[in-house]
Amino acid sequence: MPSTDTVKAPPPDREPAVKKRSTERPGDRIFRGTAVGAATVILVALAGVAIFLTVEGLPGLTAEPDAMSGQASFAGYALRLVYGTLLAAVIALVVATPLSIGMALVISHYAPRRLATPLGYVVDLLAAVPSVVYGLWGILFLGPRMGDLFRWLEENLGFIPLFAGPAAGSGRTIFTAGLVLAIMVLPIITAICREIFAQTPKLHEEAALALGATRWEMVRMAVFPYARSGMVSATMLGLGRALGETMAVAMVLAASGTGFVTLNLISTQNPNTIAANIAREFPEATGTSVNVLIASGLVLFVITFAVNFAARAIVARSGKKMNR
């Protein structure tokens, strides 16, 4: 009898032991710890940046006009820079998005494979060029050529507000900066679109082709609907890059301080972008003007955040539609 007791006794002890082991295998615990840790670090870093920007930026909100390039209020100061930032980014996207989508389509659907692969590499290489190099290229190569174009635009299309002039001979205007940005965001948008286009189910492509669709009609019927959300998020990623790009814009754009809110693309009257303005003003900034710059950084931070959220929302909505 005692021997059967000792045999019977272990189970109640062993059961929790088994349970414990299945939930807390060391590998799982380490992995969970690492994952949670990484996630926390990201959140802490993000919160740290936000807190820093807020705390350091707050005094800037009530700064004296001489700390804000002569602007009476921070709102007026920030508004112009925000306008400059958005204008440059919008120009970049308007130019880059159709180009990128076209390029991605060529790579994924039109070019023969032995041409498509090297073309893809070349586009990817564009992303590896440092922004300083783009800045130099913008000043030394693109600028002067754009200057000639601007003079022509002013003479012939000057009645359109976009080209009212006076044309900047150096070509270092928001338009040129936007073009340089376009080339910088091109590889990002192209790479993502290319991947998504290539993932279009064969089934849908064949459905369109079997109905007698041409290649382009097939792209419109099968590829674009499938890739829509991906195209939006690709564009938004490009927008994020365009909003935050500093060096190339700071080099190319010869903006006069905070400038004016104007549609005129070919003169240097436009405001600078936030990032370029910070890069340019910071070395000489003292006292509250530092706070003003940091506050403008906070504004950029908020804009970028908003863009990302908007992109998420759009992607989530159209993703739901596809799965129905």
State the residues that interact with another protein by CB under 8 A: 112-113, 201, 203-214, 217, 221-222, 225-226, 228, 321-322, 324
Amino acid at 67: A
Choose between 34 and 214: whose C-beta lies nearer to another protein.
214
Choose between 99 and 314: whose C-beta lies nearer to another protein.
314
Choose between 101 and 249: whose C-beta lies nearer to another protein.
101
Shortest CB 118 distance to another protein, Å: 17
DSSP symbol at 271: P
Shortest CB 216 distance to another protein, Å: 11
Work out the number of other CB atoms within 10 angstroms of the CB of residue 300: 21
Shortest CB 212 distance to another protein, Å: 3
Question: Please, which residues have CB within 8 angstroms of residue 296's CB and are 6 or more apart in sequence?
Answer: 57, 60, 77, 78, 81, 274, 277, 278
Shortest CB 233 distance to another protein, Å: 17
Shortest CB 231 distance to another protein, Å: 13
Separation of CA 120 from chain center: 20
Provide the angle, in degrees to the nearest 10, between the axes of the packed helices 274-281 and 74-105: 120
Q: CA 95, CA 17: separation in Å to the nearest integer?
A: 64
Concatenated DSSP letters of 151-197: HHHHHHHTTSGGG-SPPPTT--SHHHHHHHHHHHHHHHHHHHHHHHH
Work out the number of other CB atoms within 10 angstroms of the CB of residue 94: 12
Choose between 35 and 211: whose C-beta lies nearer to another protein.
211
- Going by C-alpha positions, the residue among 202, 243, 240 that lies closest to residue 223 is 202
Find out whether 218 and 209 touch, Cβ atoms under 8 Å. Answer: yes
Choose between 41 and 211: whose C-beta lies nearer to another protein.
211
Choose between 91 and 222: whose C-beta lies nearer to another protein.
222
Find out whether 248 and 138 touch, Cβ atoms under 8 Å. Answer: yes
Shortest CB 235 distance to another protein, Å: 19
Shortest CB 262 distance to another protein, Å: 41
Quote the tokens at residue 318: 């159209």
Shortest CB 193 distance to another protein, Å: 17
Shortest CB 227 distance to another protein, Å: 11
End-to-end CA distance of the chain: 65
Quote the tokens at residue 75: 């709102």
Rg (CA), the chain: 27
Choose between 14 and 321: whose C-beta lies nearer to another protein.
321
Choose between 24 and 206: whose C-beta lies nearer to another protein.
206
Find out whether 71 and 258 touch, Cβ atoms under 8 Å. Answer: yes
Choose between 70 and 118: whose C-beta lies nearer to another protein.
118
